Amino acid sequence: MSYRERLLARQREVGRPVRVALVGAGQMGRGLAAQVGRMPGLQVSVVADVDPGRAEAAFKDAGVDEVVVDDGSHASGAIARAVEDGKHVVLRGAESVASLPVDVVVDATGVPNVGAELTLAALLNGKDVVGLNVESDVTIGILLAQIARATGQVYTIARGDEPVETKKLVDFARDLNFEIICAGKGKNNPFRPHETPDSLEAEAAAKKMNPKMLCEFVDGSKAMIEMASLANTTGLEVSRRGMYGPESTVPTLHETFRLKEDGGVLDRPGVVDYCTGPVAPGVFVVVRSDHPYVVHEMSYLSMGEGPYFSLYRPYHLASIEAPLSIPEAVLDRTPSLITEAWTAEVGAAAKKDLAPGDTIDGIGGYCVRGMIEDAAIAKAENLVPLGILNKAKVVRPVARDQVLTYDDVELDESSTVVMLRRLQDRLLAGGGLQLESALRGFA
């Protein structure tokens, strides 16, 4: 039975659709709202955004014209009753979202600290969480997965993002017992590591994007983040610090991402990487088989001469596909993607010379860019994760392109994502962390 049929059956049984609270009405959130508005059995009941106009626009995209706008004068009970009554509510902030009578909270903020606060509050309040915030997941994803299990809720990265759709290809290849050589994505922007929101303002306007969001793509941070997520959810390794990122085409993927002794760029199999060129917006897995008849059959099926072959999905539908994670969570109690290992870390490289006293801004900003690395190497070299650097103070000079360590900065210790990262580090170190007692101060 399709999810459409099952959602309608659930609505007939309980008398209402699945209620969704969306936090973040930017490009991704607005796309999700528009798609959910077309899916029977689902309803966007709440949209929270610092800009109420964007939240109202998201509701309009979802086919909703009448909304209740909380201007701060409504008591929390009145907002909850409005949701219970099937009304549509606009909130200026996400503080009360977790306590509202919704079934699923969707985090479309892309900001690690906001995602940390929102996801933790939602899970502790008995809500499932669908994340369009891989930035948060590559920072504290293994801890969030543990919290979800402890609370009996579902926490998942949303369908439509490259890590989820690439993992499906990895699972397919592993089920067929192919050797995984490389899994990855096409990057649709040339790698320009020192760009800033200011330098990209005109390009962002032409693409109708937030300059910071575009900067995260162009400076490579997004590719590093997404491939770290893929590594951490498949157990694959990082090809090398920053990855190779060669140019490739779809027909030559299995030639580009093969071992060096066979003419490719890789020094070993079982890694994640990305490429530039006309592979985007697709995702891929390069596999190898040493069985003569399997190679013969794959060649017969127009997959190449072997022994390397590429499995390719020519698209990922981002926010349009993301709503599929909602029925997976609500009906099947299954995450689309959840962190099971910690093989990759996303550190930070300086975009410019940083001096003591400088304050580091967030991802896609002016100071740092993402830099993927093997998690064990990152730990050994004391590299500081990108996701916890917002508002950090530089305490010693850092040269342009240098990768930052914990010794280079003073973190904002009041930040929820910093505190949760400290807990995750204890968890990964096997330090006898009692999760429930550790989280008591956050409840």
Given pLDDT bands bounded at 50, 70 and 90, which one contains residue 439?
A: confident
Separation between Cα atoms, residue 54 and residue 244, nearest integer Å? 38
- Percent over 90 (pLDDT), the chain: 92
State how far the Cα of 147 lies from the Cα of 435, in Å rounded to an integer: 8
Burial class (CB in 10 A: 0-12, 13-18, 19+), 258: buried
- Residue 72, pLDDT score: 67
The confidence score (pLDDT) of residue 161 equals 93
The β-bridge relationship of strands 42-48 and 128-131 is unpaired
Tokens of 229: 């997520």
pLDDT for 338: 94
Encoded tokens for 204: 């962002």
In this prediction, residue 440 has a pLDDT band, given cuts at 50, 70 and 90, of low
Over range 336-361, report the average pLDDT.
97
Mean pLDDT of all residues in 62-83: 86
Q: CA angle, 422 as apex, 214 and 378 as ends, to 5°? A: 65
User: Once rounded to an integer, what is the mean pLDDT over residues 229-248?
Assistant: 98
Residue with tokens 């891989």: 134
pLDDT recorded at residue 346: 98
φ, ψ for residue 321, nearest 5 deg: -90, -25
pLDDT > 60? residue 402: yes
pLDDT at 189: 82
Tokens matching residue 325: 């994670």
Burial 359-386 (b: 16+ CB within 10 A, else e): ebbbbbbbbbbbbbbbbeebeeeebbbb
- pLDDT category at 209 given cuts 50, 70, 90 is confident
Q: What is the pLDDT of residue 176?
A: 98
CB 184 within 8 A of CB 284: yes
DSSP for residue 203: H
pLDDT band for position 208 (cuts 50, 70, 90): confident
| pLDDT for the residue numbered 73 | 62
pLDDT tens-place string over residues 410-429: 999 999 999 999 999 999 99
Q: For residue 177, with 0-12 CB atoms within 10 Å meaning exposed, 13-18 middle and 19 or more buried, which class applies? A: exposed
Cβ contact 137:155 at 8 Å: no
pLDDT at 432 over 60: no
Read off the pLDDT of residues 127-154 as tens digits, 9 standing for 90 and up: 999 999 999 999 999 999 999 999 999 9
Percentage of the chain lying above the pLDDT 70 cut: 96
Residue-averaged pLDDT of the chain: 95
pLDDT digits over 155-204, tens only?
A: 999 999 999 999 999 999 999 999 999 999 999 888 999 999 999 999 98
Quick one: average pLDDT of 208-227?
94
- Specify whether the CB–CB gap between 391 and 360 falls below 8 A: yes
User: For strand 237-238 and strand 308-313, is the pairing parallel, antiparallel, or unpaired?
Assistant: unpaired
205: buried, middle or exposed (CB in 10 Å: 19+, 13-18, 0-12)? exposed
pLDDT band at 434 (very low <50, low <70, confident <90, very high): low
DSSP assignment, residue 195? -
- Across 82-107, average pLDDT: 96
What pLDDT is attached to residue 86? 96
Could you write out the DSSP letters of every residue in 364-377? Answer: TSSSEEEEEEEHHH
- Label the pairing between strands 68-69 and 104-107: unpaired
Nearest Cα neighbor of 98 from 115, 76, 122 is 122
Asked whether the predicted pLDDT for residue 74 surpasses 70, the reply is no
